[in-house]
Structure 1
Amino acid sequence: MRLRGVRASRNVEDRRRSGAKGAGIGGVGLLVVLAVGYFAGIDVTPLLQGAGTQSSAPRELSAQEEAAGSFAAQVLGTTEQVWSQVYPAQVGEDYTPPVMVLYSGVTQSPCGSASGATGPFYCPADRKAYLDTEFFSTLSQQLGASGDFAAAYVIAHEVAHHVQNELGILGQVDQARRQSSETQANALTVRLELQADCLSGVWARSVDGLLEPGDLEEALNAARRIGDDYLQKRAGKVPQPHTFTHGTSEQRSGWFARGYDSGRMADCDTFSAEQL
């Protein structure tokens, strides 16, 4: 992804110098696919060990952390540019961007504690996306989804949850989930996540001029690598569709591709789709 000269977002809250530091990435454990409240982030609990440790002493960021922070801020900047144009044009209302919180190891949010084990997530209560930049390494080394555009897709996916919040979809899904069985609630969450994948594809189409050869495949590969069926198989389990909260690898990559191909938010209506 060509980011040289791309404006970095100012809507970044960097907490990584606070002294909190992750305990490191371990091997693959038992699969636990958990949604963080109804906003349902990407749960990589089975790929991480330890939630991190707390320290009151400030610390310096490594060169790798500095680079990851700059990258995240620039990608967030592209989402602001895209949605500030696409959202008014297709929804008829102004777009207010989210704040992205960068943290290391553990942090707090109105939606609960965040750690490397929960993965990136969006909290509608404070309209912030939370990202432990160490997840980029997890994505590449543990999940096999390498490449800068794979990492950019993850950020775009969380911003897509913010777009859903702006549209009132998150609140509607939360209310419906509370009145549903566990299996029905999971099915609603799958549709929520696939819609976010599709909206990420809309973003990707709008930044096409920044893409390099292979970038689109990196994003599609990342979508496949965080499919529920893939994660459950990787953990040595037989996939259980009734437990899925994010969709299969085929569904995730397919809905991303749909958004990329059309560029229309209306084509991302997973809730009206008969087949996902």
Structure 2
Amino acid sequence: MRLRNVKRSSNIEDRRRSGGGGKAGIGGVGLLIVLAIGYFAGVDVTPFLEGVQTQQSAPRELSAEEQKAADFSAAVLGTTEVVWSQIFDEQLGRTYTAPTLVLFSQVTQSPCGGASGATGPFYCPADEKAYLDTDFFATMARQLGAGGDFAAAYVIAHEVAHHVQNELGILGQVNQYRQTASQTEANAITVRLELQADCLSGVWARSVDGLLEPGDVDEAINAARQIGDDTLQKRAGRVPQPHTFTHGTSEQRSRWFATGYKTGLVSECDTFNARRL
């Protein structure tokens, strides 16, 4: 993805210099993988986390790799601001308000609760911020088989897509429904929410087509496949259990991303009324 001349977003809150939590029990990447699989696949990882503790570390300097990740994230976020401002105006007749992207290391707090970077990126509607431990990019590449800069950009675009859903009132409606739904029903509507975010990520990808390099779209589609619920549950050593899915299968995630990319239309991302997910 060609980002050299792209304007960097100023809506970045970098908490990484303030340190993070140190982990005991499962070390480094091992903990990251266990929790990443738990987040994406709905796997109960509590047995693996017994004895894991966190502690605050002293302020630190960022490594060159961390600084590069911050620059990359700011550039990608900048493209989402341009794209969604234009789409809201042209397709929806509305004004877009951009979210803030919080970069953190290992652990952080949000109005939606405490979080570990290992649990994966997330969006908190309470403060309209997306949260990202940039180490997750390395996890995707080395452990989940989803490498490439555009795969990483897709992760950011997906969380921004949740903000788009929040702006449109979709996220609030889904959360209200989930409060009275059974666990199976809540999981089912969450899948539709996540697949719509994948589709909206594809809409963004089409709009930045001029910045793409050969193979970029394939990287994003592969990332969508690698973090499908069925694939992650298999990787965790489990037989896939559809009633526990919260993000959709690998086939569904990649297909909905492709739908958004091919059409470029928000209206084509109505997963809630789609007969086929």
Cα deviation code 1:143-188 (max 9, x no counterpart): 0100000000000000000000000000100111112111010000
Over the aligned positions, Cα root-mean-square deviation in angstroms equals 2.1
- CA–CA separation in structure 1 for the residues paired with 2:155 and 2:211: 17
Cα distance in 1 for partners of 2:149, 2:93 equals 32
Distance 2:68 2:41 in 1: 22
* Higher mean C-alpha displacement, 216-225 vs 108-117: 108-117
SS in 1 for 2:13: strand
Alignment identity in percent? 71
TM (normalized to structure 1)? 0.92
1:54 deviation in Å? Answer: 3.3
Q: Which residue of 2 aligns with 1:87?
A: 88
Partner of 1:174: 175
Between the two proteins, the alignment pairs up a number of residues equal to 269
Residue 232 (structure 1) shift? 0.4
Q: Which moved more, 1:24-33 or 1:155-164?
A: 24-33
Q: Which residue of 2 aligns with 1:10?
A: 10
Aligned to 2:251: 250
Post-superposition shift, 1:91? 1.0
Cα distance in 1 for residues equivalent to 2:78 and 2:36: 34
Q: State the AA in 2 paired with 1:11.
A: N
The residue correspondences of 1:139-154 to structure 2 (distance < 5 A) are 139-154=140-155
Structure 2 match to 1:25: 29
User: Segments of 4+ in structure 1 off by > 6 A?
Assistant: 41-46, 48-52
Equivalents in 2 of 1:221, 1:135: separation in Å?
A: 16
Distance 1:204 1:246 in 2: 20
Give how far 1:45 is off: 8.5
Equivalent residue, structure 1, for 2:235: 234
In the TM superposition, what is the alpha-carbon distance from 1:26 to its structure 2 partner?
0.9
Partner of 1:103: 104
Write 1 or 2 for the structure with the bigger share of helix. Answer: 2
Q: Contact 1:103–1:133 (CA<8 Å) still a contact in 2? A: yes
> Which residue of the partner structure matches residue 131 of structure 2?
130
Check conservation: 2:191, 2:246, Cα contact below 8 A. yes
Query: C-alpha separation between the residues in 2 aligned to 1:155 and 1:55?
Result: 26
Aligned AA for 2:10? R
Deviation at residue 51 of structure 1 after TM alignment:
7.2
Match of 1:270 in 2: 271
Distance in 2 between the 1:51 and 1:272 partners?
42
* TM-superposed deviation, 1:88: 1.4
Structure 1, 51-60 or 154-163: larger mean CA deviation: 51-60
Task: State how far apart, in whole Å, the 1-side matches of 2:67 and 2:259 are.
Answer: 34
Change (3 A) 1:43 1:11: farther
Unpaired stretches in structure 1, ≥5 consecutive residues? 35-40
What SS does the corresponding residue of 2:30 show, helix, strand or coil? coil
Q: What residue identity is the alignment partner of 1:178?
A: Q
Any conservation in 2 of the 1:31–1:45 contact (CA below 8 Å)? no
CA distance, structure 1, for counterparts of residue 8 and residue 29 of structure 2: 28
CA contact (8 A) 2:125 2:166 kept: yes
Structure 2: 5+ residue stretches without partners:
none
